[in-house]
Amino acid sequence: MKTSDFEKVIDDLFLSIKEYYPPKLFSAMEYAVKSGGKRIRPQLCFLSADFCDVPQDSVLPFALAIELIHSYSLVHDDLPCMDNDILRRGKPTVHAAFGEATALLVGDALLNLAYETLFSAAKTDTDVLSACKLIAECAGGQGMIGGQAMEFENDSFTENDLYVLDKKKTGMLIKCAVLSPAYLSGSPEKISALASFSDYAGLAFQIADDLIDVEKEEKTSFVNVCGKEKASSLLRSLRAKAYVSLAKWPDRNSELLSFFDKLAYRNI
Ligand code: GRG
């Protein structure tokens, strides 16, 4: 799906809910979701659907829900009680623009909207239901929220701790974006290959982020804990493993593999 088509889907979703939401909450939700995100997870979801020979339309609710979950996580992550950031994507964060109470509610409302989207898709199809459950697990306490909690429950991290933390905090939304389409493919082999690929992609995405933010000196940065050289060499070895994981499908793997390179070797 073209990015512009996905933006139209988001616009339509917001139009369809507008009359039911208090105006400030609605505006702040729109601001959170439509302020220049790269839409990495939806793109991965559609590429994975192509790889699995699954129609992109059937994974659209997954892509949408995952992007809503991603958006809520950034709003909450920026709050004063978490990272206390006032800028995101070069613009005031949601709490800076709309106030802290609204930002908290924006996150809650986006998360619930994500599950409304998934429930509308699930009906009685068991593969779709399994994919929806996967998304909920990846977003929750054993996934992204669990990773975020680890960060606040510990003062320092070893390299091994970071593998666990990043696999959860950053990796799990990437994982469900890549893996949920595979659940519709009925192919255990592709499910297993994409599970590995998504693990490597999630970790590579975070290490790339740490290399970009090198001067931030965060306690959870691979660059701080292991050094720049080691982080770069980790990236190279993740790339090699990602390529091996999809090597069995040389005629289908190129789009996902080039996207891996975009994630791992980006500079924004
Ligand atoms: C607060 C529940 C809760 C979770 C927070 C996602 C997250 C967990 C925190 C955000 C901060 C962070 C550094 C996360 C690592 C993943 C990451 C680099 C997110 C940014 O993703 P992009 O680059 O963002 O896809 P855009 O702006 O393009 O949407």
- Name the band, by pLDDT with cuts 50, 70 and 90, for residue 123: confident
For residues 87-105, average pLDDT: 97
- Name the band, by pLDDT with cuts 50, 70 and 90, for residue 189: very high
How far apart are alpha carbons 213 and 199 in whole angstroms?
21
| Closest residue to atom 16 of ligand 1, CA basis | 170
Element (H, E) at 232: helix 228-245
Cβ neighbours of residue 38 closer than 8 Å, sequence gap 6 or more: 268
pLDDT of residue 266: 85
- Name the band, by pLDDT with cuts 50, 70 and 90, for residue 131: very high
Q: How far is CA 227 from CA 198, 223, 234, in A?
A: 24, 5, 11
| DSSP class per residue in 47-89 | HHHHHTT--HHHHHHHHHHHHHHHHHHHHHHHSTTTT--SEET
| Closest residue to atom 26 of ligand 1, CA basis | 37
Cβ neighbours of residue 82 closer than 8 Å, sequence gap 6 or more: 76, 148, 152
Element (H, E) at 258: helix 254-264
Q: Which residues line ligand 1 (CB under 6 A)?
A: 37-38, 40, 73-74, 76-77, 82, 89, 144-145, 148, 169-170, 206, 209
DSSP 1: -
- Name the band, by pLDDT with cuts 50, 70 and 90, for residue 262: very high
pLDDT, tens digit, for every residue of 3-22?
A: 889 999 999 999 999 999 99
Neighbouring C-beta atoms of residue 189, cutoff 10 Å? 11
Residue from 51, 30, 77 nearest 178 by CA: 51
pLDDT of residue 47: 98
pTM above 0.85, yes or no: yes
pLDDT of residue 217: 76
For residues 188-196, average pLDDT: 98
pLDDT, tens digit, for every residue of 205-254?
A: 999 999 998 777 788 899 999 999 999 999 999 999 999 999 999 999 99
pLDDT of residue 218: 85
How far apart are alpha carbons 129 and 125 in whole angstroms?
6
How far apart are alpha carbons 29 and 109 in whole angstroms?
8
Is the pLDDT reported for residue 97 higher than 90? Answer: yes
Ligand 1 atom index nearest CA of 77: 1
Distance 74 CA to ligand 1 centre (A): 5
Distance 254 CA to ligand 1 centre (A): 26
Rg of the chain over all Cα atoms, to the nearest angstrom: 18
Is the pLDDT reported for residue 268 higher than 80? Answer: no
Residue from 228, 164, 238, 176 nearest 201 by CA: 238
pLDDT of residue 19: 94
| Closest residue to atom 20 of ligand 1, CA basis | 74
Ligand 1 atom index nearest CA of 147: 8
| Closest residue to atom 24 of ligand 1, CA basis | 37
How far apart are alpha carbons 158 and 163 in whole angstroms?
9
Is the pLDDT reported for residue 124 higher than 90? Answer: no
| Average per-residue pLDDT for the chain | 95
